[in-house]
Amino acid sequence: MSTAPAPVELERPEAREEQGADRPWVAIVWNDPVNLMSYVTYVFQTVFNYPKAKAEKLMMDVHHKGRAVVANGTREEMERDVEILHSYGLWATVKRDD
């Protein structure tokens, strides 16, 4: 995301973070005893293009709180994200944000 031209860059990260009425779905990653902390961080960086600090924070949330919301968006976007997370072996689910 950080490589996008300025006008686009201003909009896209916000759209990705936005909790508005048209983006009420979330992707959740659940803790499991097998997936390595380093690997989970790597997956968050690779799949979502998150900076390392954000990916690490989300990984720690998964580890300590048992789960973390890792993305939000439309239902279709969240299903696609969860499918990709499953391809990496992470335990991920889709849920309407409430």
Partner 1 sequence: MAHIKKKRGGVQMRLEPAEAALVRGLLGQLLEMLGDPPETGEGLAALGIAEDAALSDDPVIARLFPDAYRDDGEAAGEFRRYTELGLRDGKREAADVVLATLGDDEAARVDALLDEGQARAWLKALNDLRLALGTRLDIGEDWYEQVGALDRDDPRLPMFAAYDWLTAVQEDLVHAVW
Positions touching partner 1 (CB under 8 A) are: 33-36, 38-39, 42, 46, 79, 82-83, 86-89, 91-95
How many C-beta atoms surround the C-beta of residue 30 within 10 A? 13
Q: How far is the CB of 55 from partner 1 (least distance, A)?
A: 11
Nearest approach, Cβ of 71 to partner 1 (angstroms)?
13
CA distance 15 to 86: 24
Q: How far is the CB of 76 from partner 1 (least distance, A)?
A: 11
- Rounded to whole angstroms, the Cα distance separating 86 from 79 reads 10
